[in-house]
A and B are shown apart, each in its own frame.
Chain A
Amino acid sequence: MKKNIFILAVAAALLATGCSQKEPEVDMTQQNGANAAAGSANGAASSVDGGLDTIQGSVESSNLTSEEAKMAKIHEIEATAKKIYFDFDKYNIRPDQQANVDEDAELFMSPEAKDLTVKIEGNCDEWGTDEYNYALGLKRAKTVRDALALKGIPESRMVMVSYGESNPVCTEHTQECWAKNRRVEFKLLP
Chain B
Amino acid sequence: MKRFFVMLFAALSLMASDATLEIVKSADNRPHIAVEDSSIFGNETTRIKLFKLLIGDLKVTAHFKVDDTRRFAGYNTLVDPMLKSNDYVLRYRFKEADRQQLYMDVKLFKMPSSRPVYERSYKVANRARYPFLIHQAVIDLNDFLGMPSVAWMRRYVVFSEYVAPRRADILIADYTLTYRKRLVSGGLNIFPKWADGAQKGIYYTRLGNRPVLYYYNIYTGKRRRVLSSDGMLVCSDVSRDGSRLLLTMAPGGQPDIYEYNLRTGVKQRVTFYGGIDVSAQYLENERQIVFVSDRLGFPNIFSGTIGRRGVRQLVFHGRNNNACSAHGHYVVYSSRETDNAFGRNTFNLYLISTRSDYIRRLTASGVNQFPKFSRDGETVMYLKHFAGESALGIIRLDYNEGYLFPLKGKRIQSIDW
A and B from one complex = yes
CA distance A163 to B162 in the complex (A): 12
B188 x A163 contact (CB < 8 A): yes
**What A residues does B230 contact at CB under 8 A?**
159-160
Given known A139-B255, A142-B254, A160-B253, contact A131–B209 (CB-CB < 8 A): no
**What A residues does B167 contact at CB under 8 A?**
166
B276 x A135 contact (CB < 8 A): yes
Stretch binding the partner chain, chosen from A7-15, A32-40, A65-73, A122-130: A122-130
**What A residues does B211 contact at CB under 8 A?**
161
Stretch binding the partner chain, chosen from B32-40, B98-106, B170-178, B231-239: B231-239
B414 x A162 contact (CB < 8 A): no
B323 x A130 contact (CB < 8 A): yes
CA distance A28 to B209 in the complex (A): 49
Quote the shortest CB–CB distance from B225 to chain A (angstroms). Answer: 18
Quote the shortest CB–CB distance from B302 to chain A (angstroms). Answer: 13
How many residue pairs link A and B with beta carbons under 8 A? The number is: 100
- State which of B162, B190, B209, B276 has its C-beta within 8 Å of the C-beta of A132: B276
B231 x A141 contact (CB < 8 A): yes
B248 x A135 contact (CB < 8 A): yes
- State which of B165, B298, B345, B370 has its C-beta within 8 Å of the C-beta of A130: B370
CA distance A159 to B229 in the complex (A): 12
- State which of A87, A119, A130, A166 has its C-beta within 8 Å of the C-beta of B168: A166
Given known A135-B232, A162-B231, A163-B166, contact A130–B342 (CB-CB < 8 A): no
Residue of B at shortest CB range from A145? B253
Given known A89-B320, A119-B209, A166-B188, contact A132–B253 (CB-CB < 8 A): no
- State which of B231, B234, B342 has its C-beta within 8 Å of the C-beta of A131: B234
**What A residues does B323 contact at CB under 8 A?**
129-132
Asked whether any CB of chain B lies closer than 8 Å to the CB of A81, the reply is: no
Q: How many residues of A contact B (CB 8 A)?
A: 32
Quote the shortest CB–CB distance from A187 to chain B (angstroms). Answer: 9
Quote the shortest CB–CB distance from B253 to chain A (angstroms). Answer: 4
CA distance A165 to B255 in the complex (A): 17
> Which among B248, B253, B414 has the greatest number of chain A C-beta atoms within 10 A?
B253
- State which of B207, B210, B250 has its C-beta within 8 Å of the C-beta of A163: B207
Residue of A at shortest CB range from B236? A131
Given known A160-B253, A163-B166, A167-B165, contact A136–B276 (CB-CB < 8 A): yes
CA distance A39 to B190 in the complex (A): 41
Chain B, residues 388-417, CB within 8 Å of chain A (1/0): the string is 000000000000000000000001011000
Asked whether any CB of chain B lies closer than 8 Å to the CB of A178, the reply is: yes
Chain A, residues 134-164, CB within 8 Å of chain B (1/0): the string is 1110110110010000000000000111111
- State which of B253, B255, B298, B370 has its C-beta within 8 Å of the C-beta of A89: B298
**What B residues does A175 contact at CB under 8 A?**
341-343
| Chain A residues numbered 96-142 whose CB sits less than 8 Å from any CB in chain B | 119, 126-136, 138-139, 141-142
CA distance A8 to B218 in the complex (A): 81
Quote the shortest CB–CB distance from A180 to chain B (angstroms). Answer: 13
A129 x B370 contact (CB < 8 A): yes
**What B residues does A145 contact at CB under 8 A?**
253
Interface of A is mostly: mixed
CA distance A127 to B345 in the complex (A): 9
A166 x B253 contact (CB < 8 A): no
**What B residues does A161 contact at CB under 8 A?**
207, 209-211, 231
- State which of B207, B231, B299 has its C-beta within 8 Å of the C-beta of A160: B231
Quote the shortest CB–CB distance from A50 to chain B (angstroms). Answer: 33
| Chain B residues numbered 278-327 whose CB sits less than 8 Å from any CB in chain A | 278-279, 292, 298-299, 320, 322-323
- State which of A132, A162, A163, A167 has its C-beta within 8 Å of the C-beta of B322: A132
> Which among A89, A129, A162 has the greatest number of chain B C-beta atoms within 10 A?
A129
Asked whether any CB of chain A lies closer than 8 Å to the CB of B275, the reply is: yes
Asked whether any CB of chain A lies closer than 8 Å to the CB of B191, the reply is: yes
CA distance A166 to B165 in the complex (A): 6
Residue of B at shortest CB range from A131? B278
Chain B, residues 187-213, CB within 8 Å of chain A (1/0): the string is 010110000000000000001011100
A135 x B250 contact (CB < 8 A): yes
Known: A130-B322, A161-B207, A166-B167. 10 other contacts (CB 8 A): A89-B299, A129-B369, A130-B414, A131-B292, A132-B322, A135-B255, A142-B231, A145-B253, A160-B253, A166-B166
A residues touching B (Cβ–Cβ < 8 Å)?
A: 87-89, 119, 126-136, 138-139, 141-142, 145, 159-164, 166-168, 175, 178, 189
26 contacts between A and B (CB under 8 A): A87-B341, A88-B341, A89-B320, A126-B411, A129-B323, A130-B279, A130-B370, A131-B292, A132-B299, A132-B322, A134-B278, A135-B248, A135-B250, A135-B276, A135-B278, A138-B255, A139-B255, A139-B276, A142-B252, A142-B253, A160-B230, A163-B188, A164-B413, A167-B165, A175-B341, A178-B342
B residues touching A (Cβ–Cβ < 8 Å)?
A: 162, 165-168, 188, 190-191, 207, 209-211, 230-232, 234, 236, 248, 250, 252-255, 275-276, 278-279, 292, 298-299, 320, 322-323, 334, 341-343, 345, 369-370, 411, 413-414
Closest 7 CB pairs of A and B: A142-B253, A175-B342, A88-B341, A131-B278, A132-B322, A135-B255, A135-B276
